[in-house]
Structure 1
Amino acid sequence: MTLTLAVSCFHPGQEESGAGEPCDNFTDLTLSHCFMGTSLYVRLLLYTLSNLNCGHELNHHHLSTQPLFNVSRPTTFVIHGYRPTGAPPIWINHIVHLLAEQEDMNIIVVDWNKGAANLNYFTAVAYTREAAHNLTEFIMNMEEEGASLSSVHLIGVSLGAHLAGFVGANLKGKIGRITGLDPAGPMFTSATPEERLDPSDAMFVDVLHTDINSFGLRGAHGHIDFYANGGADQPGCPKTIFAGKSYFVCDHQRSVFLFLCALNRTCSLTGYPCSSYSDFLDGRCLQCEAFEPAPCPVLGYDVSRWRETLLRLGQTQVFFSTTATLPYRKLSYRVDMVTWNQYLRWCVIYIRLHSGRTFTEARIDHKLFRFEQYTSTLLLAQFDEDVQHIQKISVRINTGNVIGPRYKIRLLQIRFTPLEHPDRPLMCRFDIIMEENVEVVFRPLPCDSHI
């Protein structure tokens, strides 16, 4: 009896596909590679609905011989950024699967880890131009095979956002879309539009900012720029260097996690057009007349539905706030208060929404608000939890007064307008006396109940 032993040899980190073919996985390097430095080598890993869990490395030149790649489908390229440790990005598999849920497409992970993995950041920056030429040639080959440039979408993270911009510029801005997730700031803060991502690089460019005061890039660089929590200092991220690596990367990486959450449609993160985050927090930018009849733009894959309006408006900056953890979404209310008090008061406001034993609180304390006689004051109240079927509301004021009598404010009316849920009713209450640091609890009424 003869025993035959079949041996399959895979590269390190490879797995088998369902058909028994080896999978091509993202290049996994070590810190020693980064110390020695890596030379640029670009790999293109294809994922489709038929091979979502098993990457297939594409030949850059012979597309017609690669049956998994269909040029008639839209194609999305995912481009990572600087990799100082050489490890694969932890989010690659997540973004591949979530993109596949949007529509039937070719998803190509641009693996330039050999090049991006260098302790010398300046070397990685220099490689972005070369990697962009490599990717440009591939897309030109796609076009020769019948692909439409307008159906190409580049998603670039950090340094990868500028790499995507260089590809777009090489192709004269004819590709359909570029999404920049917190474009890298170091080495690009003084760059001209030709030297970084800018709106002319594609037919539509959307950008998300989360770390503009460190590793991200300040300024507006797309047709629409989303600023999460003002674009800096994300909630839940460490505030001191004693947290180690997380202190340096948390804010910057949040752009990826917010985008993943938006792709998953578990976070509906609405951006409000405004000149600054402080104006947004002051409640000065809660209208979206420029986008009517559509609502305000929402972060994510479908933001291109606002493309025509944004091209008409020119570069638009939009702001939103998030929580520290999934699903990141805050519940926002516009709060209108009409005061009757005789004397001028400066206060911060705390508002709680109650449903049974559950409640959520908004602390509107980023500055003192002015309340004076017969004056309407507009506030933005943002809650971490989405409490529905609100049974009661409590309000508390604080003037910072530590001596003397407690100040009082009389409200002729307070009105709560849900911003992201127009299907929910407006809530009002009339003629309330509030004493400093004393919580006033009331049951909300329909706003048309007061004659």
Structure 2
Amino acid sequence: MLGLFLILCLAWSVSSDTDEKCPTFTNIGFYNALVGTRLKVRLLLYTDGNFACAKLLESTLPGSFNVTKKSTFIIHGYRPTGSPPVWMDDLVEALLRIEDMNVIVVDWNRGAANVIYSISSGFTKPVAKILKQTIDQMLANGATLDNIYMIGVSLGAHIAGFVGKMYDGKLGRITGLDPAGPLYNGKPPDKRLDHRDAQFVDVIHSDIDGLGFRESLGNIDFYPNGGVDQPGCPQTIFGGYYADRWKNYTTLKDRPVTKAFFDTTDKKPFCMYHYFVDILIWNKNSQKGYITIKLTDMNGHSTESTINHEPTTFQKYHQVSLLARFAQDLDQVKSISLVFSSGTVLGPKSKLRIIWMKLRPINRPEKPQMCRYDLVVTENKETAFQPILC
């Protein structure tokens, strides 16, 4: 029975290498990931003109390949089940909607698909060498390194770094999405992705408590939701997301190594809406605690933010600026309510005597700032009021 099962798996999973009218990403199935495969790299070219049908880049570039355009390589990572990445088509489409460019999907599933992670990791440098051969051809036909952009996921992030090293960091940009941690944590820069591998390197860390790389690797490193569990994503190594909204990143190239933290929601478009909240109090003694803010619009829709990353110390005549994160964006705010909590259960209730407070929208700076003056907030009691324009 086991032999019959393996034969059926083999027949189902092995794809033909014959010419395809529209080449697609290799699907080798779990059986081949179990027994292992030899490395084979296929490059699938997508452009605005052939969005629905890729062209296979062979050893000789096709005459229709416009090398003067920006060329973005998408490099997937470890594929223990042998299946294609579910996010690939969405990313290709998103990139082509943003800009008229060449999108090149680097299909190294024969190599990445293996139940033994270390074997897949061992193919990263050979894949990088193959990509260099393609880029060398592009350069010989008029392309420039400034226009080469690489997006690498998991092991693919380190592949992009190895390619960048071969060009002495002169590639235009590398984006690392959840770079792989196992076998790379603690390694020197020449054995992993590094911020010197391109003119600009940005990294999103979304699984640092799992198989992702924890430390900073780029010129700027983003840690959505602290870099751990991502709302709306499966809690496995197969989940992930990426949205590139930077058409022009030249202003970021000269930034020092930076870490940036932000939050997302669990539903599309995954955006959080941020306000700075400035508060000035006139309490005689300092107060320490947390603030919860609720915004309500004209139709009764509301959104709430609890600023609980750490307790805030409020002191007399000392302005405190807090960052409030909301899951919804309300056009016209009719009322605001505040709750102050010191976090203590016993003892008398504290009061926060506010001289003035201001809400400043960050995502939409064209929106008016909202203010309120002379307000007393009793601990653990919701206090609602109508804001006025500042």
TM-score scaled by length of structure 2: 0.91
Amino acid at match of 1:195: K
Kindly state the Cα deviation for residue 361 of structure 1 after the two structures are TM-superposed.
Answer: 0.3
Structure 2 residue 347 is the aligned partner of structure 1 residue 359: no
1:332 and 1:435 mapped to 2: Cα distance?
25
Give the equivalent residue in structure 2 for 1:422: 365
2:145 and 2:349 mapped to 1: Cα distance?
67
Give the equivalent residue in structure 2 for 1:399: 342
Contact 1:176–1:203 (CA under 8 A) maintained in structure 2: yes
Amino acid at match of 2:40: Y
State the Cα RMSD in Å.
Answer: 2.0
Kindly state the Cα deviation for residue 236 of structure 1 after the two structures are TM-superposed.
Answer: 4.3
1:225 and 1:160 mapped to 2: Cα distance?
17
Amino acid at match of 1:410: R
Kindly state the Cα deviation for residue 85 of structure 1 after the two structures are TM-superposed.
Answer: 0.4
Kindly state the Cα deviation for residue 315 of structure 1 after the two structures are TM-superposed.
Answer: 1.6
Distance of aligned partners of 1:236 and 1:96 in 2 relative to their CA distance in 1, 3 Å threshold: closer
Contact 1:14–1:22 (CA under 8 A) maintained in structure 2: no
Kindly state the Cα deviation for residue 87 of structure 1 after the two structures are TM-superposed.
Answer: 0.3
Secondary structure class of the residue paired with 1:153: strand
Give the equivalent residue in structure 2 for 1:317: 259
TM-score scaled by length of structure 1: 0.79
Amino acid at match of 2:192: R
Q: 2:182 aligns with which of 181, 186, 196?
A: 186
Structure 2 residue 75 is the aligned partner of structure 1 residue 133: no
Give the equivalent residue in structure 1 for 2:22: 23
Contact 2:99–2:247 (CA under 8 A) maintained in structure 1: no
Structure 2 residue 208 is the aligned partner of structure 1 residue 301: no
Distance of aligned partners of 1:404 and 1:199 in 2 relative to their CA distance in 1, 3 Å threshold: closer
Distance of aligned partners of 1:404 and 1:444 in 2 relative to their CA distance in 1, 3 Å threshold: same
Secondary structure class of the residue paired with 1:391: strand
Kindly state the Cα deviation for residue 402 of structure 1 after the two structures are TM-superposed.
Answer: 2.8
Where do residues 73-92 of structure 1 align in structure 2 (5 Å cutoff)? 73-92=69-88
Q: 1:217 aligns with which of 213, 217, 224?
A: 213
Kindly state the Cα deviation for residue 12 of structure 1 after the two structures are TM-superposed.
Answer: 5.0
Kindly state the Cα deviation for residue 214 of structure 1 after the two structures are TM-superposed.
Answer: 1.8
Contact 1:322–1:328 (CA under 8 A) maintained in structure 2: yes
Runs of 4+ in 1 over 4 A off after TM superposition: 11-16
Amino acid at match of 1:323: T
Distance of aligned partners of 1:360 and 1:106 in 2 relative to their CA distance in 1, 3 Å threshold: same
Secondary structure class of the residue paired with 1:222: coil
Amino acid at match of 2:212: G
Secondary structure class of the residue paired with 1:249: coil
Structure 2 residue 329 is the aligned partner of structure 1 residue 386: yes
Farther off after superposition, 206-215 or 381-390? 206-215
Contact 2:293–2:339 (CA under 8 A) maintained in structure 1: yes
1:160 and 1:422 mapped to 2: Cα distance?
37
Contact 1:15–1:23 (CA under 8 A) maintained in structure 2: no
Give the equivalent residue in structure 2 for 1:441: 384
Distance of aligned partners of 1:57 and 1:427 in 2 relative to their CA distance in 1, 3 Å threshold: same
Distance of aligned partners of 1:427 and 1:113 in 2 relative to their CA distance in 1, 3 Å threshold: same
Give the equivalent residue in structure 2 for 1:100: 96
Contact 2:293–2:338 (CA under 8 A) maintained in structure 1: yes
Secondary structure class of the residue paired with 2:160: helix
Distance of aligned partners of 1:168 and 1:361 in 2 relative to their CA distance in 1, 3 Å threshold: same
Structure 2 residues without counterparts, runs of 5 or longer: 1-13
Contact 1:14–1:25 (CA under 8 A) maintained in structure 2: no
Kindly state the Cα deviation for residue 303 of structure 1 after the two structures are TM-superposed.
Answer: 5.5
Where do residues 46-125 of structure 1 align in structure 2 (5 Å cutoff)? 46-60=45-59, 62-63=60-61, 66-125=62-121
**Count of paired positions:** 376
Structure 2 residue 30 is the aligned partner of structure 1 residue 34: no
Structure 1 residues without counterparts, runs of 5 or longer: 1-10, 238-245, 264-299
Kindly state the Cα deviation for residue 14 of structure 1 after the two structures are TM-superposed.
Answer: 10
Listed one character per residue, the Cα deviations across residues 237-271 of structure 1 (whole Å, up to 9, x for unaligned) are 5xxxxxxxx43326xx33xx2x23xx4xxxxxxxx
